[in-house]
Amino acid sequence: MLKRLFSTLLLFSFLSACASSTPPTPAPTPQAAATPKATQPKRDWWRTAVFYEIFVRSFYDTDGNGIGDFNGVAAKLDYLQELGVTAIWLMPIHPSPSYHGYDVLNYYAVNPQYGSMEDFKNLLAEAHKRDMRIIIDLVINHTSSQHPWFRDADTNLDSAYRNFYVWADSPGAGSWHQGQNGYYYGFFWSGMPDLNYTNPAVTDAMYKINDYWLNEIGVDGFRIDAVKHLIEQDGKLENTSLTHEWLREYYKTYKAANPSAYTIGEVYGAGSSVVKQYTGTELDHIFNFEMAAGIMGSVNGGANSGITSAVKFAQMDTPDYNYATFLTNHDQNRVMSVFNGDVDKAKVASFLMLTLPGTPYIYYGEEIGMQGRKPDEDIRLPMQWNADKFAGFSNVEPWRALPADYTQVNVAAQTGDPASLLEHYRTLIQLRKSHPTLQTADITLLDAGNSGIFATLRADSNGTYIVLANLTGEAVTDYQLDLGDAELAESIVGVGMLFGEGQAQVLEGSGGAFNPYQPFESLNPYAMAIIKLNP
């Protein structure tokens, strides 16, 4: 009952806030002053970025209503900069009748619970001062059923917006819903009617919305929600040829207007073969779900098969490694909950992500080990800043109750503690940023002769590194790294420790032929190491 009342109040407040600001025509272009851009040293800045995903509602509340806001994100930019973050993805910021925002009421406004457009522009300016970029969720597959476009289309057969949506006289198989004048298609649920991209007017409207946020407001790009579902075709519900055609035109349009703009698509479950289909001429990045599952599965199971398979597929399908990596996101149980509270496993998982190719995305709170299992509200809980009442998130009861562990699991408790998960993330991110080889270099899988060990070689003109992890909770002595396919320099003068405990053994061999290498006599449980080879 409380949930229903809360949702009703949200809907009423949002409709009231948006009624006067919703564009009356399909393709309005409001005027607004753009914020200063972050320094753009090259167009493909995202290849070396470290992203941080934020649910604004749950990050930091500055106005005392129990809901996070734009000013709260701005207040924590120094924390993010110290963590090593260079780019931020904000989950939906548009007005919406729901707490999550994935059903948009007005594409030209911001959620009034998060603050004003001026507050958002101030956040952009503050981020850009720090050379940090901000992308926002752009939900273009569907709108809210309360969006003025749909309300007019539903009630008026002659509406200019009628063909903005997909209609039928009778329900077909799948996600059809009863409207006031026929049935409409909404893949996710009745409250999210799909937009009709076979109608050029919808494309024109979306292009203008895209241009407004990129070039008038000044965001640095978009995360495109549910992109594989844009256009259903001949009974096929995802990854259709019409969707790919639409995205190719979209890519050309936004790149022509702003070559430094960045888009990343959510293609849920995508492996490297699907990533390849979308990147290059359609979107800049796709999330590599196959890689995420490989990391999480291998760490949880203590065997390298999952991550090894994911890397091999990436080498075959996307040898430029032009994709985004992550562990879990806002639609999945949190990392620490998947690992049942095991901090060692969380450290190894983040170590793998931050030493593999691809652009890493960190979900807020992941770096301190916040837990959360579905329902979705509980994997999007308020950020745990300290052990004070309400976890330092707010001075009033948050929109969603905090977990009991916040008094132990929080930013303040972990800051400065070298054994903490937070400092582990900080160290690895700084290493990644200061050693370009760990960002973009090629990767060679090294056979360790033990399924509990995952080892790779990262090498380019900037350096050569062996990355090694014990995926198990047991000490391992029975392993040796096969360097036969490593294509090392003819001689190695020595080795140095970039990360990890102890000093690695000298690599023996010459003339490009090296003996099987056991850098440590014993690898401790969940041991991790980055070894620099010095030619």
Residues forming the active site: 225, 266
CB 99 within 8 A of CB 379: no
418 burial (CB, 10 Å; 0-12 / 13-18 / 19+) is exposed
> Which three-class secondary structure state does DSSP give residue 67?
coil
Read off the tokens for 474. Answer: 């047991």
* 148 closest CA partner among 295, 299, 26: 26
Q: Which residues have CB under 8 Å from 221's CB, separation 6+?
A: 46, 133, 135, 214, 261, 262, 263, 264, 284
DSSP-derived secondary structure letter, 33: P
Taking the C-alpha atoms of residue 274 and residue 267, their distance in angstroms, rounded to an integer, is 8
How do 262-265 and 285-286 pair as beta strands?
Answer: parallel
> Which three-class secondary structure state does DSSP give residue 486?
coil
**CA quadruple 242, 243, 248, 254: dihedral positive or negative?**
positive
Taking the C-alpha atoms of residue 281 and residue 247, their distance in angstroms, rounded to an integer, is 8
Q: Which residues have CB under 8 Å from 106's CB, separation 6+?
A: 18, 21, 22, 23, 94, 95, 147, 148
Read off the tokens for 351. Answer: 């170590």
Taking the C-alpha atoms of residue 482 and residue 509, their distance in angstroms, rounded to an integer, is 13
**CA quadruple 527, 532, 534, 535: dihedral positive or negative?**
positive
How do 463-470 and 528-534 pair as beta strands?
Answer: antiparallel
**508-517, Cβ contacts within 8 angstroms, sequence gap of 24 or more:** 509/483, 512/487, 512/488, 514/483, 514/486, 514/488, 516/480, 516/481, 516/482, 516/483, 517/466, 517/480, 517/481, 517/483
**Radius of gyration of the chain from Cα atoms?**
24
